[in-house]
Amino acid sequence: MTEAFYDKLAAIRHEIHQNPEVSEREYNTTEFLKGYLSELGIKIIETDLRTGVIAEIGSGQPVVALRADIDALPIKEKNTFDYASKNGAMHACGHDFHQTSLLGAAELLKAKEDQLNGTLRLIFQPAEEVSKGAYAVLETGVLDDVSAIIGYHNMPFLKPGQIGLRSKAIMAAVEKFKVTVKGVSGHAARPDLGVDTVLTITSMVNNLQAIVSRTVSPFEPTVLSVTHINAGSTWNVLPSEGFFEGTIRTFTKENRQHMRQQFTTIVEQTAQQFGAQVEISWGQTPNVTYNDEELTPLIFENSKKFAEVIEVGPSTGGEDFAAYQEKIPGVFAFIGGNGEENAPDLHHDTFIVKDEALPVAVNYFVENAQLLLNYFSKKASE
């Protein structure tokens, strides 16, 4: 990581940050990535993905995948630095940083291509924020011959130069729910002649809070949050319909199933109590991000060569990287991006990753990609 290379990567990140594109619309980002990789002589693998890029360095077996996400969020940025977003969207989760670090790693790995013991497949993944991108990549078949995959997410609570890792669950399984309630409209002065949708919804929201506090072990991290309620349009009419939506976060398959069952029971029984009709819809969302118990300790030790590596607790955030780990062994890390006290969290309109975090992020890919190629090459020859 020379000073000139660092400056080059920082400039690339600033350019991407200034021109964010939201999930499934990363068209210009895709063209930029293809152009940059092609100039390096890196092979682009053609797929039916509308956005995102799959590329390849090296040849033969084993194959190890490196993944970075590329989409932004529909958030208006409030930062005032000279490379703030120009278009109303925002890289408020640091995906500009992720893809830049993988570009930097690609350039360094391409320079030593003849020394690689196998193939590195680069996954610049779209649509992580809507939990669709990883599933779309898997459908292309580009990971069918892959032995392992690594990725990371920047974390504002960690300092540049730090890496957080743990075996097993590192991020939560995610549920996205929407509950639609249908009552009977009527005059607010005669609620007895209608079915009160607002009362039904608010009762459901209150009743749901007892699931975690009264049916889940206090030693089992679990979150249920209702984040959006919509019902009615004026002050003196009982609305005929309304909805609420939110999320559940869990860390085991058993607890995930328990939460969904309890949620459904409470919603349906509360609707029955008030005489309302109810419909529950669940979004496509990722399972637990579960780090491979054989590979994670190897990457933990190897990363000490270039970073301060610490064992972290699991995050209740979610990641569609989990979809890859359901198919192949994977390791997902947290890389320090800020570290200042009261640094804005992910998805905040003043969120920022420090450029100083780039060297460790690049080396995370470079050093551990080679480690895994050598590891699987040796394993195949035994």
The domain ranges of the chain are 3-171+288-381, 173-282
Q: What is the pLDDT of residue 286?
A: 94
**For the whole model, what pTM was predicted?**
0.94
Q: How confident is the model at residue 314 (pLDDT cuts 50, 70, 90)?
A: very high
- 229-250: pLDDT as tens digits: 999 999 999 999 999 999 999 9
Q: What is the pLDDT of residue 162?
A: 98
- Preceding amide of 74 cis, omega within 30: no
- 98-122: pLDDT as tens digits: 999 999 999 999 999 999 999 999 9
Other CB atoms within 10 A of residue 214 CB = 8
Q: Which CATH code of 4.10.520.10, 1.10.357.10, 3.30.930.10, 3.40.630.10 fits the domain covering 3-171+288-381? A: 3.40.630.10
Q: CB–CB of 360/99 below 8 Å? A: no
d(CA 371, CA 227): 43
Q: Which of 77, 80, 219, 54 is nearest to 140 (CA)?
A: 54
Domain 173-282 has CATH 3.30.70.360: yes
